Amino acid sequence: MTYRIKEGVDLENRKNQNKFTIKMQKKLVVLFFLILLAFVGLSYRLITITRDNGEQYKKQVLSQQRYDSTTIPYKRGSILDANGSVLASSEKVYNVILDAVAISEKEEYLEPTLNALRSQFGIDTAGVREYIAANKDYSRYYVLARRLEYEQIEAFRELQNEENSLIQGIWFEEEYKRVYPGNTLACDVIGFTTSDNVGSYGLEEYYNDILSGTQGREYGYLNDDSNLERTTIPAEDGNSIVTTIDVNIQSIVEKYLKKFDEEYKDNAHEGNGANNIGCIIMRVNTGEILAMASYPNFDLNDTRNTDALIGMPILDEENKRTGEYINVENVGTITEDPDVFYRHLNALWKNFCINDTYEPGSVSKPFTVAAAIESGSITGNESYTCNGMLSIGDYEISCHNTWGDGTLTVAEGVERSCNVVLMNVANATGKETYVDFQHIFNLGLKTNIDLAGEARTASLVYDKKTMGPTELATNSFGQGYNATMIQMIAGFCSLINGGYYYEPHLVSKIISPTGATVQNIEPRILKQTISEVTSARIREMCNLVVTGEKGTGKTARPAGYMIGGKTGTAETLPRGNKEYVVSFMGYAPADNPEIAIYVVVDRPNVPGNIMDDAKFATKIVRNILTEVLPYMGIFMTEELSDKEREELEALQIEIMTPVVPEEGDTPEGGEGVEGGSGEGSEDSQNGGGEGENPEGTGTEGEGEPYREVWKDFPIDPVTGYAVDPNTGNYVDPVTGAVLGGSYQTGIQSPAASSSPDPDAAGSASPSP
């Protein structure tokens, strides 16, 4: 009975559920029709809005397209020299923008506006007229002219702002362009910016984030009364940087690099006065760079001007020199292919002083001696006998004087740049200690100078596993490994300033757009390479290079000053090509160095193609220091001879009216006939070792004459060199150094396969 009652209840419930479902379905149908009716109503309303108010809303949309995303450009920070002179700045310029919709609002606007565009900007109005006709309903932004100065747009704006003016639909968009007042001045240091205001090369690239600001925005809309409302977020300008560069010193350096090029271009062969010429001047006790320049240079305001390429070597696809040079006739073929054009522009734009690697030659000899003395391997008082060569392993490695220098002390070996003495010093040091000190002197490591593009050279020096006796011997006089100019001068400063290695740098201060100091960049001592006692010994030896009776760097001394330093020469690959990199690295004053200077001439284009002569570097140093030292307030320490006084007076005349010195002039201090007579060559035979001393003879014991057979050789009246009657080789008549001598083939250095710039001077070099 109970079961039947429960079954009846369930049946009744199911009937009720079915009735509820039917009711809901009816309601859903009604709701659907209501929604459909609402959509129909909305659609009708949209149609009426479009019909009655379409133009008004179209105006609002177009207005927002113009104003909602308008960018306000920031002003890139300036680059200043140490004295506040502007090296790079940003100036406001204007783009001429056409609003086709606005100019089409009334027919009478068209002709007056086109006439003004034609008369003030020289714009082809036929093309503008066609553009307006095709885009009058929607285009509000079309660029007619770019980057005009304010003076160029001023007259147009006056016409536009006249009462009842019919010139409409033209407005001016503001932006900034980079300006370099010095044009070519410090181009390698400064770098430049691309069209989108991004730094490229040099300081512009390295400090791009500092110099860049933040763009602003201007938002606009039309209110209910169709009036324009604006909301502006202002741009934030970039910070400026104050460099350590002194424009006066930089200008002096660049003047003499250019003078060298003008003197020797198209000489032994077509092309510039040298493949590259570089100079760095640095404060010895801070690491501040006062000047850095290389030649050829380029105009920062016209970086793609092909005139700057003329005289440079033509490069193949692997950036290797082809043996031909760019001239007026073939420069067009360089620019035809964008890849070829950029390849040569990149070679022009890069900074030789930090980017190119080369074998430094004998300027490295003070490093070898410093390592030996500091490690206790030698006392510095030892003597070694030079018979013209030294047998190392299976090789006979020659000195600059193949007849030999006799018995020399270590100091005399540095003074005369004797390879044999330095090889004996390195042998006493041992490869383990030698390699350790190369690392201590930062050779093979980046200096981290604040410039874009510094080359890595870790793979271009030997380590303890790869260095053998021959490599140690050739490394002792600067062949067989590669370095950069900035590496060499930074390490050299530590040799002469008491042993303190300063990180080289070019920026001393960062300042805000208002002129407030954001950051002072103080000099950084990274390490002590040698003791002050060893440093004093090295200064004594380097002073002898310039002041000693048989010093190889006598012609680097400016009138009235005593300086110290070291000459250097290295033969490039392939050995025997008789192509050399010559250099001089010095400091002033000699007793208390304040500045260091390093000049490198990469394959000078000289008479007879005899490149291994230190004078091509020392003459540049002498000219630069003659002007720089008085400018810096460094007083003369030596009495002037009558000839030196005449030279200084002539220099003052030259500053006012530049003249080319007459051929054969022989300034005081041993500089002789152009090409080496009286100065001799440096590292002229088999891997280094100069012969620029006035006597030129080696000594045995107490300095007695050793071998002077070259004294009887006949003199070539054209070059001023002696000629060996047995071989026909040119010989320095004073020192006996064989000029343009060939190297004996030796072991490949690490540079031969891993240089970042395979075509740089000496960048792929086997050891002698």
8 A C-beta contact, residue 187 and residue 300:
yes
* pLDDT for 665 beyond 80: no
Question: In this structure, what token pair is assigned to residue 633?
Answer: 């307030």
Helices (H), 441-531: 469-476, 485-496
Alpha-carbon distance values, 306 to 330, 335, 344, 523, 737 (Å): 11, 8, 10, 39, 41
Q: Which residue has the tokens 């692997």?
A: 318
Is pLDDT larger for residue 649 or for residue 589? 589
Q: Which residue has the tokens 């091509």?
A: 616
8 A C-beta contact, residue 355 and residue 455:
yes
Is pLDDT larger for residue 176 or for residue 51? 176
723 burial class (0-12, 13-18, 19+ CB within 10 angstroms)? middle
Give the torsion sign (CA, 465, 468, 474, 476). positive
DSSP 8-state symbol, 709: G
- 696-697-699-705 Cα dihedral, nearest 10 degrees: -140
Omega into 717 within 30° of 0, i.e. cis? no
Q: Which residues contact residue 228 at a Cβ distance below 8 angstroms, ignoring those fewer than 6 apart? A: 63, 67, 220, 221, 222
Q: Are strands 383-386 and 406-409 parallel, antiparallel or unpaired?
A: antiparallel
DSSP 8-state symbol, 505: B
DSSP 8-state symbol, 503: P
The CA distance from 501 to 367, in Å, is 13
Q: Which residues contact residue 438 at a Cβ distance below 8 angstroms, ignoring those fewer than 6 apart? A: 367, 371, 444, 461, 475, 481
pLDDT grade for 315, boundaries at 50, 70 and 90: very high
**Which secondary structure element, helix H or strand E, spans residue 624, and what is its range?**
helix 615-631
Residues linked to residue 83 through DSSP beta bridges, in sequence order: none
The CA distance from 77 to 236, in Å, is 11
Question: In this structure, what token pair is assigned to residue 410?
Answer: 């270590």
* pLDDT for 55 beyond 70: no
Query: DSSP assignment of 335-353, as one string?
Result: HHSHHHHHHHHHHHHS-HH
Residue-level pLDDT at 181? 96
Give the torsion sign (CA, 355, 360, 365, 371). positive
Ramachandran angles phi, psi of 193, nearest 5°: -115, 150
Residue-level pLDDT at 674? 32
**Which secondary structure element, helix H or strand E, spans residue 390, and what is its range?**
strand 389-392
- 147-150-156-158 Cα dihedral, nearest 10 degrees: 160
335 burial class (0-12, 13-18, 19+ CB within 10 angstroms)? middle
Mean of the per-residue pLDDT values of the chain: 84
Q: Which residues contact residue 591 at a Cβ distance below 8 angstroms, ignoring those fewer than 6 apart? A: 562, 637
* pLDDT for 657 beyond 80: no
8 A C-beta contact, residue 586 and residue 621:
yes
The string of pLDDT tens digits covering residues 161-192 is 898 889 999 999 999 999 999 999 999 999 99
Is pLDDT larger for residue 58 or for residue 279? 279
Residue-level pLDDT at 666? 37
Work out the widest C-alpha separation in the chain, in whole angstroms: 151
Q: How many CB atoms lie within 10 A of CB 660?
A: 9
Q: Are strands 240-243 and 79-80 parallel, antiparallel or unpaired?
A: parallel
Ramachandran angles phi, psi of 235, nearest 5°: -75, 155
Helices (H), 692-754: 751-754
The string of pLDDT tens digits covering residues 318-360 is 988 898 999 999 999 999 999 999 999 999 999 999 999 999 9
Is pLDDT larger for residue 32 or for residue 178? 178
8 A C-beta contact, residue 358 and residue 598:
no
8 A C-beta contact, residue 182 and residue 247:
yes
* pLDDT for 231 beyond 90: no
The CA distance from 15 to 424, in Å, is 118
Residue-level pLDDT at 47? 82
Can you say how many angstroms the Cα of residue 287 is from the centroid of all Cα atoms in its chain? Answer: 17
pLDDT grade for 695, boundaries at 50, 70 and 90: very low
Q: Which residue has the tokens 């005369």?
A: 416
The string of pLDDT tens digits covering residues 246-270 is 999 999 999 999 999 999 999 989 9
- 502-505-507-510 Cα dihedral, nearest 10 degrees: -60
Question: In this structure, what token pair is assigned to residue 189?
Answer: 């240091």
Residue-level pLDDT at 7? 54
The CA distance from 444 to 752, in Å, is 15
Omega into 296 within 30° of 0, i.e. cis? yes
